Chains A and B, each alone.
Chain A
Amino acid sequence: MTLRIKQDHARFKDIVRGKIKQNLRKYIQKGELIGKRGKDTISIPVPSIDLPHFRFHDRQQGGVGQGEGDVGQPVSPSDEEGQGKGKAGENSGDHGLEVDVTLDELAQMLGEELKLPRIEPRGKQRLVSERTRYVGVSPTGPESLRHFKRTYKQALKRQMVMGTYNPLDPKIIPIREDKRFRTWRVQQRPESNAVIIYMMDVSGSMGDEQKEIVRIESFWLDTWLRHQYDGIESRYIIHDAMAKEVDRETFFHTRESGGTMISSAYKLCAQLIEQNYPASEWNIYPFHFSDGDNWSADDTRQCISLLKDHILPKVNLFAYGQVESPYGSGQFLKDLEEHFDGDERVALSEIKDKEGIYGSIKDFLGRGK
């Protein structure tokens, strides 16, 4: 029997969804959600959801408590939230609430709000791996899978019914009908069939603020792509004058001081694809973020030829996000524009500040590739 409350609960969740969508731009800019991410869910602070009342100012009101302590000592809050009187809450003013939302739901909301088209995977094939699992017992099967205990039980039962069981000489001899065998079922599991290769310039000119922008943006790109594909892998490449592959943690927290040679990253990226991700089986998404400063025009030329010959033919989408920094010239974006204008596989975006992230996500994902 379903509980009647489920209706009201569903209605409440609808309202929360509406509020989240309304405030999505703010969440995206602030990046505050990233820290609140659990395994599959994310807790989102939703503003002004409860019903307002005329009420006293918490901080002025204070209250009465019980226990040890001298005047001037802090009051220890309860470990249980808001139960009746004597609140120690400090969130006066913002009558909000934290709600858990699954990452899938969040991606859906992002999609609806930004009007993102669904991504059409390249090719029809989906990588599926098969796994066998033993799930049951059946009266037929190969000797090698005989279930000893069940077979024994069956034989014991039969002998007792037939009266051939002698407790003083407990011999159990199974016949063919007693035998029981393990059976298996083949389970199909979708393999990850998409890979995101994040590349970021970590040279001296990329400051903390720029990296924060990359972090926020990559969070949302990740959320959306994960929603679109059954399985997804992420690889991380950082570069200054040299490129190397790192883990996620290092990716966001490394700061180098050297110069910038973008080609090094593209070379590594091309190599990674070459070795691990055959284009026929994988949907490939290289995303590159930098402040647009490159060592030399020569290197830029090399980048462009790497893209043209080795990367673009294999990927679904190559995205370049240029984060504005006081030190960067921003030239690289112009160079790319010049060479790849109108190319469906290339998405370029300039991210001036955190407010620009919202538009930039749309630039990247708006074409459903």
Chain B
Amino acid sequence: MPTQLPPHLRDVQDEMKGHAKAFGLDFFETIFEVITFDEMNMVASYGGFPSRYPHWKFGMEYERLAKSYEYGLSRIYEMVINNDPCYAYLLESNQDVSQKMVMAHVYAHCDFFKNNFTFSHTNRKMMDEMANHGTRVRKYMDKFGVEVVELFIDRVLSIDNLIDIHSPFIVRKKPRSEEEEQKRPAVRELPTDKEYMRNFINPKEYMDAQRAKIEKDFKKAKRFPEHPERDVMAFLMEHAPLERWQRDLIDMLREEAYYFAPQRMTKIMNEGWATYWHAKMMTEKACKPEEIIDFADQHSGVVAVNGNQLNPYKIGLELYRNIEERWDKGRFGKEYDDCDDLAERRRWDKSLGLGRQKIFEVRKYYNDVTFIDEFLTLDFVREAKLFSFGYNKKRARFEISSREFKEVKDKMLQQLTNFGQPVIAVLDANHENRGELLLRHTHDAVDLDPEYTRATLSAIQHIWNRPVHVLTKTEGKGVMYGFDGKDHSERSAEYA
């Protein structure tokens, strides 16, 4: 598949790379490949990795992409892979001005991959790792049969959103040594050098109470898992009764899930950043006069609003520009926030010129949640005409529910939290003292979809091999969904 970049595109690449460097973008070495639309659809189906493990879901994605290309609904101009070196694919049929714009876009993505903290723990040799995974899966398929392995992959993929996205950055628990586990900590006495004072400083009632507390904690610690475990994939990998190849499969798919998670956590920021830079580089540096119309046409396609749908490219781009302007003019801080005079706010310009520096800082230290939380302002929501929408049962349609700043922002944050996935943790692996698995959904305003919940439970049951349950809330009441391998159950339960 690799196509050498034709000479004129190599020149374009050198030029765009120069512009990107001059603007201060900092990226991994980037390798461009020119491919046909069919190859592009394939690469996109594999999430950017042509050497991935074989699975029908990639075939399904390919079918969808090929169809929508065929019907002219959408086409993919570019793909870029977070890897060192960065790989980027260009569509063969793009005009030269598009290739220019795409390269600018790609360099900004690479800069983002390299510098944004969310990506700091991702494997930068993922191209190789994915190929390894492919080889291992194929080996297992040869050994145990395609269908057996595929079925297991299906089930594991059903839980690939049940990971602990923050775990690369924090230590949730300290690993304990064997001895420590048996030893109860002694009750600490306050020290005194006068023996006769000892019983006064450490009264017996207090010491007894302390001893009881330690004993209680120790018992509680025996619950398994000790604390709710957010990384359900890891938990099942370690504790479900599985064959070695099955553990290995979970391990691989979990690694891939953690690799892709940062991209889902920074969609707005990442696309906004790339769009900001391709616009900047093209309009200020790279665009020839005769190309400007084509560029404008392409760019407006990127930031177009489709129906009332939120376009992450557009929102991201506008937020960066908004931040740049605010920091250039000093429109931040207590003095500005406290200012009630509209006219004065409009005139506000302290000529600080900190904008560029600020957006570089933002691209390093934020993800979508913190980005929106900090920089989505009342003025911005009004200007961009954002609204929240909800489902109207009576009219059986989605309707605009509010244009209030707080509600819009809350809704947006809620949708971005935990990369848009419900928060679900393993609560008890010995539920009812019968080795059943109890999961708990941290209910935050929105219920789970019941049908999907049942289907997912049955996938987990096949991995855990004992009955599984998930505790959640539906319409304000606690509910326990369960699956024992044969029947689904649903009963009211105390949601605690």
Q: A56-B447, A66-B309 are in contact. Are A85 and B415 (CB under 8 A)?
A: yes
Q: Which residues of B contact A185 (CB under 8 A)?
A: none
Interface size class of A (residues with CB under 8 A): 35 or more
In-complex Cβ contact of B308 among A14, A66, A72 (8 A): A66
User: Please, which residue of chain A has its CB at the minimum distance from the CB of B439?
Assistant: A54
**Residue from B41, B46, B56, B411 with most neighbouring chain A CB atoms (10 Å):** B56
CB within 8 Å of A: which B21-60 residues: 38-39, 41-42, 45-46, 50, 54-60
| Cβ contact within 8 Å between B448 and A72 | no
- Does any Cβ of B come within 8 Å of A7's Cβ? yes
Instruction: Annotate B300-344 by CB proximity to A: 1 below 8 A, 0 otherwise.
Output: 000001111111101100000000000000000000000000000
Q: Which one, A48, A59, A70, A94, contacts B400 given CB within 8 A?
A: A70
CA distance A160 to B111 in the complex (A): 63
Chain A stretch 18-65: residues in CB contact (< 8 A) with chain B: 48-65
CB of A79 within 8 Å of the partner chain: yes
Interface hits, B378-408 → A, CB 8 Å: 384-391, 393, 395, 397-403, 408
- List the one stretch of B91-99, B122-130, B241-249, B418-426 in contact with chain A: B418-426
Most chain A CB within a 10 A radius of its CB, from B38, B154, B314, B420: B420
B87 contacts A by Cβ under 8 Å: no
Evaluate contact between B387 and A64: CB separation under 8 angstroms: yes
Check if A93 sits within 8 Å of B451, measured CB to CB.
yes
The reply to whether B456 and A52 contact each other, CB–CB distance below 8 Å, is yes
When distances are taken between beta carbons in the complex, the residues of chain A under 8 Å from B411 are 62-64
Q: How far is the CA of A217 from the CA of B337 in the complex (A)?
A: 72
A63 and B456: CB pair below 8 A? no
Q: Does A3 reach chain B (CB closer than 8 Å)? A: yes
Among B160, B386, B446, B470, the residue within 8 A (CB) of A64 is B386
Query: Smallest Cβ distance from B121 to chain A, in angstroms?
Result: 23
CB-based contact B452/A66 at 8 Å: no
Is the CB of B162 closer than 8 A to any CB of chain A?
Answer: yes
Interface size for B (C-beta < 8 A) is 78
User: Cβ of A1: which chain B residues have Cβ within 8 Å of it?
Assistant: 1
A-B contact count (CB 8 A): 213
Take A54-B452, A54-B453 as given contacts and tell me if A15 and B388 are in contact as well, using a CB distance cutoff of 8 Å: no
Bound-state CA distance A4–B162 (Å) is 30
- How far apart are A20's CB and chain B's nearest CB, in angstroms? 14
Chain B nearest CB, measured from A81 CB (Å): 8
CA distance A37 to B350 in the complex (A): 66
Q: Which B residues from 438 to 493 make CB contacts under 8 A with A?
A: 441, 446-453, 455-456, 459, 470
Q: Does A246 contact B (CB under 8 A)?
A: no
Is A169 in contact with chain B by the CB < 8 A criterion? no
Question: What residues of B have a CB within 8 angstroms of the CB of A62 in the complex?
Answer: 388-391, 398, 401, 411
- List the B side residues contacting A77 at CB < 8 Å: 307-309, 398
- Verify if A12 is at the interface (C-beta below 8 Å from B): yes
Q: Are B456 and A95 in contact (CB under 8 A)?
A: no
B39 & A55 in contact (Cβ 8 Å cutoff): no
Instruction: Judge whether B412 is part of the interface by a CB distance below 8 angstroms.
Output: yes
- Give Cα distance in the complex from A81 to B54, angstroms: 26
With a cutoff of 8 Å between Cβ atoms, the chain A residues found around residue B389 in the complex are 62-65, 75
A263-299 contacts to B (CB < 8 Å):
none
User: Does B294 count as interface, using CB distance less than 8 angstroms?
Assistant: no
Interface contact A54-B421, CB-CB below 8 Å:
yes
> Smallest distance from the beta carbon of A99 to chain B beta carbons, Å?
8
Chain A residue nearest to B232 (CB atoms) is A54
A86-108 contacts to B (CB < 8 Å): 86, 88, 92-95, 97, 99-100
Task: Tell me whether A61 and B415 are in contact (CB under 8 A).
Answer: yes
Decide if A342 is an interface residue (CB 8 Å cutoff).
no
Q: Is the CB of B60 within 8 A of A12?
A: yes
The majority secondary structure among interface residues of chain B is: mixed
Contacting residues, chain B, for A59 (C-beta < 8 A): 391, 393
> B421 to nearest A CB, angstroms?
7
B62 close to A5 (CB less than 8 A): yes
> Is A8 an interface residue, CB under 8 A from the partner?
yes
Q: What residues on A are CB-neighbors of B402 within 8 Å? A: 71
CB of A305 to closest CB in B, whole Å: 56
Q: Are the CB atoms of A79 and B391 closer together than 8 Å?
A: no
User: Does B310 contact A69, Cβ atoms closer than 8 Å?
Assistant: no
Q: Is the CB of A68 within 8 A of B385?
A: yes
Closest chain B CB from A55 CB (angstroms): 5
Complex interface: chain A residues within 8 A of B408 (CB): 64
Could you tell me the distance in whole angstroms from the C-beta of B317 to the nearest C-beta in chain A?
13
Bound state CA distance, A85 and B46, in angstroms? 20
- Determine whether A301 belongs to the interface, using a CB cutoff of 8 Å to chain B: no
Contact of A95 among B62, B67, B157, B455 (CB under 8 A): B455
A10 in the interface (beta carbon within 8 A): yes
Minimum CB distance partner of B420 in chain A? A85
27 contacts between A and B (CB under 8 A): A5-B59, A11-B55, A12-B57, A53-B456, A54-B162, A54-B424, A54-B456, A55-B421, A55-B452, A57-B447, A57-B450, A59-B393, A62-B389, A63-B415, A64-B310, A64-B411, A64-B412, A64-B415, A66-B310, A71-B387, A71-B402, A77-B309, A79-B307, A86-B309, A88-B398, A93-B451, A99-B63
Give A residues with C-beta under 8 Å from B.
1, 3-5, 7-15, 48-81, 83-86, 88, 92-95, 97, 99-100
- Shortest 10 CB-CB contacts between residues of A and residues of B: A12-B59, A52-B455, A8-B59, A62-B390, A65-B308, A59-B391, A9-B59, A5-B42, A78-B306, A12-B56
Instruction: Identify 7 new A-B residue pairs, CB closer than 8 A, beyond the known A13-B59, A68-B385.
Output: A5-B58, A54-B161, A58-B391, A60-B446, A62-B411, A64-B387, A72-B400
